[in-house]
Amino acid sequence: MLKFEAKIAAALLLAASQSVMAFETLPAKPPVPADNPMNPAKIALGKQLFFDPRLSVDGTVSCNSCHNVMSSGTDNRPVSVGVAGQKGGRSAPNVWNAAFLSVQFWDGRAASLEDQAKGPILNPIEMGMPSADEAVQRIRAIPGYVSQFNAIFGGKEAVTYDNIAKAIAAYERTLLTPNSPFDRYLKGDKSALSAQAQQGMKLFEQTGCTSCHSGANFAGPAMQAGSGFYQKFPIYQNNDYVSKYNLMNDTGRHNVTKNDADKNIWRVPTLRNIAVSAPYFHNGSVETLDEAVRVMAKTQLDKNLSDGEVADIVAFLDSLTGEFPKQTMPQLPPTANRTLTAK
Amino acid sequence: MLKFEAKIAAALLLAASQSVMAFETLPAKPPVPADNPMNPAKIALGKQLFFDPRLSVDGTVSCNSCHNVMSSGTDNRPVSVGVAGQKGGRSAPNVWNAAFLSVQFWDGRAASLEDQAKGPILNPIEMGMPSADEAVQRIRAIPGYVSQFNAIFGGKEAVTYDNIAKAIAAYERTLLTPNSPFDRYLKGDKSALSAQAQQGMKLFEQTGCTSCHSGANFAGPAMQAGSGFYQKFPIYQNNDYVSKYNLMNDTGRHNVTKNDADKNIWRVPTLRNIAVSAPYFHNGSVETLDEAVRVMAKTQLDKNLSDGEVADIVAFLDSLTGEFPKQTMPQLPPTANRTLTAK
């Protein structure tokens, strides 16, 4: 426990030392790893793969099924539904602006978007491909993909699981939502936020929300790629919300590290586009944003907010919804003359 | 049986009388019903609805899930998968160029695209909404939809089940694939078809395929909207294909009319984009196009084609894949601050 408390203290100190940076606009460009530079052809390929249900064992689930970039970047469900109607244990994290997170998944178990993309394809209750090799074979059987991979990554055998993940990650790094009312306000357009939202913004900081939800993505201070910014949830466990919303059943990062100190530790999630990303929390147990604000204040800061304070903070959170970029629809390379997916 | 045989004879006579029209290019514009004129705002609304999984009970299935317009216009599966992993009994018909069909569904039970659109939303094994009223309530709870419906259809209560179907149908009438190699050939570009495809085209007619697969959509002669062009399948039942591919278990139009004469009667499906629409037939039981050609020749015309003849006809059918239009991706109006879908 000492180790855990030291971690929390360090995180709070770090946050405090960066308090001038509690509010930041969304950068125009995401960090890009040196071994996966972005280019238009790779992004276009990644978009096709992101939307291609043939990456799931029965051809019914694509990345976009749960991370819907035609809307909120999630599926707006409590937990996601994978192949054969199987339900996952956690709510789909938002893909919009995920490029700014230094680790991925609710428990931070992936160090990059590339690592993350490799997970759901092989997860038996998500896309359910039996192996990376079978996923690669599926894509290699589609001539229109083979030619793109070879041109983009070089060589004649460029369809690899690593390159599938690289292409998807390159596309995901384009999924940014700039120019939210909050960003425009911060850049000087004082009319971008209503008086209530401005009041909510103050309250958000005074209440202590910015201890964790700081930085450009409201997901904590900038960290090195692969290092996560984590927090315990719930910290205060002596309240009705914990049992009502089953907040402790899933022990979070503990599932990854098997370290007791990591029980109920989670990557701090982004708050950008939170108003359109209901339901809330790792298990999607809370249906409305106002209830989510109440729960967070109580479980993380032991504070009881009034209805008026909740409304003000929600008005502020509403201002974090950015502009969703106009996109063209991908056209997936065809499977000629025969079907690829199982019955 | 006499009545049925008379029907068949009439159909064959009709086809014979129109033999000069066995091959037609795809018209540039589809027929549009007088009570549902197309306009850009309605088409844009219909596209959003077509892609919106909130029209399914658990928020996981949209029209596009089974009729994927990013690819073949189908899901390339034997039978489709609806909510909760439930499998349907038939293969998803192609939405590309469905605007040219005078009746919809494999059994022709919908007289228009508007009628068709109302089916899957309420089908318990497809999108599974409990009632039209609940589907309407779901859409009425999304402010960005309400404003569009009211502007497009007029009035303050314009979100109705009829109008949902009208908007979707208006979008579907834009889903045309012109300029296939076949169309370019017919318009005078003799280089558009290979020698083998041209040979296949002759063979397609000589073998008798055009008895049914004639007209602009290779789905029979032009009929009045609401009147279907039907055919028995299989006609010749004394062959191994019938049991191997379970061709008679589903009695087709008989399920709709309960009339014995309609047993194993089906709407003649389009052959446009058939090369990218595997697997084949109402039950999706045949995985490859060459096998589908063999089965059709035997069951419909009692002919055994050689491998070379099959290859020639497949080369011709390959030429029926048209140009998929470039589309913008819709952005779905958000569900603000709360979730709409059930657990």
Are B91 and B79 spatial neighbours (Cβ–Cβ below 8 Å)? yes
Cα–Cα distance between B247 and B280 in angstroms, integer?
11
The pLDDT of residue B119 is above 60: yes
Dist. CA A63–CA B283, nearest whole Å: 27
* B336 pLDDT tier (thresholds 50, 70, 90): confident
Do B311 and B185 reside in the same domain of the chain?
Answer: yes
Tokens of A31: 């960090």
Whether B152 is covered by a domain: the verdict is yes
- pLDDT of B125 > 70? The answer is yes
Same domain, B182 and B288: yes
Residues 6+ apart with CB under 8 A from A330: A44, A47, A48, A50, A51, B70
Q: Residue B311: pLDDT above 60?
A: yes
Nearest chain A residue to B340 by CA distance is A76
Q: Which helix (H) or strand (E) covers residue A230, if one does?
A: strand A230-232
DSSP annotation of B288: B
Interchain contact, A336 vs B330, CB within 8 Å: no
- What is the C-alpha to C-alpha distance for residues B233 and B230, in angstroms, rounded to an integer? 9
B residues 270-289 lying closer than 8 A (beta carbon) to A: 275-276, 278-279, 284, 287-289
Asked whether the bond before A279 is cis by omega within 30 degrees of 0, the reply is yes
Length of chain B (residues)? 343
Q: Is residue B335 part of a domain?
A: no
Number of domains in chain A: 2
Segment B273-277 shows an average pLDDT of: 96
Give yes or no: residues A206 and A141 share one domain. no
Give me the residue from B60, B321, B335 closest to A276, CB to CB.
B335
Q: Has residue A312 got a pLDDT over 50?
A: yes
- Does residue A259 register a pLDDT over 70? yes
Q: Which of A153, A172, A191 is the last residue of a domain?
A: A172
Length of chain A: 343
User: Rounded to the nearest 10 degrees, what angle do helices A143-153 and A132-140 cross at?
Assistant: 100
Grade residue B8 by pLDDT with cuts at 50, 70 and 90: low
Looking at residue A11, its pLDDT comes to: 54
Nearest CB neighbour to A327, from listed B83, B329, B338: B329
B223 HSE (CA, 13 A, CB side)? 25
SS3 B286: strand
B 303-322 residues with CB below 8 A of A? Answer: 314, 318, 321
Whether residue A338 is contained in a domain is answered as no
Mutate to test the interface with B, among A71, A125, A277 (most CBs of B within 10 A): A71
pLDDT of residue B209: 97
Residues of B in contact with A327 (CB under 8 A): 328-329
| CA distance to partner chain A, nearest, from residue B33 (Å) | 28
Residue pointed to by tokens 């879908």: B341
Check if the beta carbon of residue A303 is closer than 8 Å to that of residue A207: yes
Confidence of residue A2 (pLDDT cuts 50, 70, 90): very low
- Structural contact between residues B165 and B117, judged by C-beta atoms closer than 8 angstroms: yes
- Say if the Cβ atoms of B335 and A51 lie within 8 Å: no
Asked if residue A183 and residue A312 are part of one domain, the reply reads yes
DSSP structure string for A142-157: -HHHHHHHHHHH-SS-
Q: Beta strand B230-232 with A230-232: parallel, antiparallel or unpaired?
A: unpaired
Does A337 reach chain B within 8 Å, measured CB to CB?
A: yes
Q: Mark which residues 117-136 of A lie under 8 Å from B by CB.
A: none
Specify whether A5 is catalytic. Answer: no
Which residues fall within 8 angstroms of residue A93, CB to CB, at 6 or more apart? A67, A74, A104, A105, A106, A269
CB contact under 8 A, A336 and B318: yes
Q: Say whether A69 and B327 touch across the interface (CB within 8 A).
A: no
* A75 to B59: CB separation less than 8 angstroms, yes or no: yes
More confident residue, A155 or A42: A42
Question: With an 8 Å Cβ cutoff, are A339 and B276 in contact?
Answer: no
Q: Is A85 on the interface with B (CB under 8 A)?
A: yes
pLDDT per residue as tens digits for the range A74-99: 999 999 999 999 999 999 999 999 99
CA gap A48, A332 in Å, rounded:
6
Domain presence at residue A86: yes
Domain containing residue B113: 40-172
8 A C-beta contact, residue A46 and residue A176: no
pLDDT over 70, % of chain B: 93
Q: Are residues B15 and B130 in the same domain?
A: no
pLDDT of B16 > 70? The answer is no
- Interchain contact, A335 vs B68, CB within 8 Å: no
Chain A contacts of B331, Cβ < 8 Å?
70-71, 324, 326
| Contact criterion met (CB below 8 Å) for B91 and B282 | yes
On the question of pLDDT at A271 being above 60, the answer is yes
pLDDT category at B19 given cuts 50, 70, 90 is: very low
**pLDDT tens track for A283-292:** 999 999 999 9
CATH number (domain holding residue A301): 1.10.760.10
Does the CB of A338 have a partner CB in chain B at under 8 Å? Answer: yes
Residues B192 and B297 reside in one and the same domain: yes
Query: Whole-angstrom Cα distance, residue B15 to residue A120?
Result: 51
Q: In the structure, what pLDDT confidence band is assigned to residue B20 with cuts at 50, 70 and 90?
A: very low
A332 CA: distance to closest CA in chain B (Å): 5
Catalytic residue among A5, A24, A126, A309: A126
Identify whether A329 is part of a domain. Answer: no
Q: Give, to the nearest 10 degrees, the angle between helix B113-122 and helix B161-172.
A: 120
Q: For the segment B42-100, what is each residue's pLDDT rounded down to a tens digit?
A: 999 999 999 999 999 999 999 999 999 999 999 999 999 999 999 999 999 999 999 99
B76 — contact with chain A (CB < 8 Å)? yes
Angle made by CA atoms B128, B130, B132, in degrees to the nearest 5: 105
Asked if B203 and B308 sit in the same domain, the reply is yes
Res B28 pLDDT > 50: yes
A158 and A70, same structural domain?
yes
**Location of structure tokens 């910014």:** A229
Chain A hits for B321, Cβ within 8 Å: 334
For residue A103, tell me if it sits in a domain.
yes
Give me the pLDDT at residue B11, please.
54
Chain B CB within 8 Å of residue A188 CB: no
Same-domain status, B235 and B251 = yes
Judgement on whether residues B181 and B166 belong to the same structural domain of the protein? no
Partner-chain residue, chosen from A68, A290, A329, that has the shortest CB–CB distance to B70 = A329
pLDDT at B18: 46
Which of B5, B24, B114, B126 is flagged as catalytic?
Answer: B126
Give chain B positions within 8 Å (CB) of A124.
none
Residue that is last in its domain, among B126, B150, B172? B172
Give the tens place of pLDDT for each residue, A156-170.
899 999 999 999 999
Q: Are residues A258 and A182 in the same domain?
A: yes
Provide the pLDDT confidence category of residue B320 given band limits of 50, 70 and 90. Answer: very high
pLDDT for A1 equals 41
pLDDT tens for each residue of A94-106: 999 999 999 999 9
In this prediction the pTM is: 0.93
Q: Does A83 touch chain B (CB under 8 A)?
A: yes
Question: Which chain B residues are closer than 8 Å to A84 by Cβ?
Answer: 81, 85
Residue B3 is predicted with a pLDDT of: 52
Which pair of structure tokens corresponds to residue B273? 């984009």
Q: What is the pLDDT of residues B234-264, one digit of tens each?
A: 999 999 999 999 999 999 999 999 999 999 9
DSSP states of A231-257 as a string?
A: EES-S---SHHHHHTTTTSS-BTHHHH
Q: Do B76 and A59 touch (CB under 8 A)?
A: yes
| CA pair distance B68, B125, nearest whole angstrom | 18
DSSP type of residue A22: S
The residue of chain A with its CA nearest to that of B80 is A60
Asked if B324 reaches chain A (Cβ–Cβ under 8 Å), the answer is yes
On whether both A162 and A193 belong to a single domain, the answer is no
* A332 secondary structure, DSSP code: P
Which of A130, A148, A172 delimits the end of a domain?
A172
pLDDT over threshold 50, residue B1: no
Q: Which segment of A10-19, A187-196, A315-324, B289-298 scores lowest on mean pLDDT?
A: A10-19
Closest A-chain CA to B341:
A77
Is B33 inside any structural domain? Answer: no
CA-based R_g, chain B, Å: 21
- Considering chain B, what is the average pLDDT of its residues? 94
Could you read off the pLDDT of B54-64 as tens digits, one per residue? Answer: 999 999 999 99
Residue B84: inside a domain: yes
**Cα B295 to chain centroid, rounded:** 20
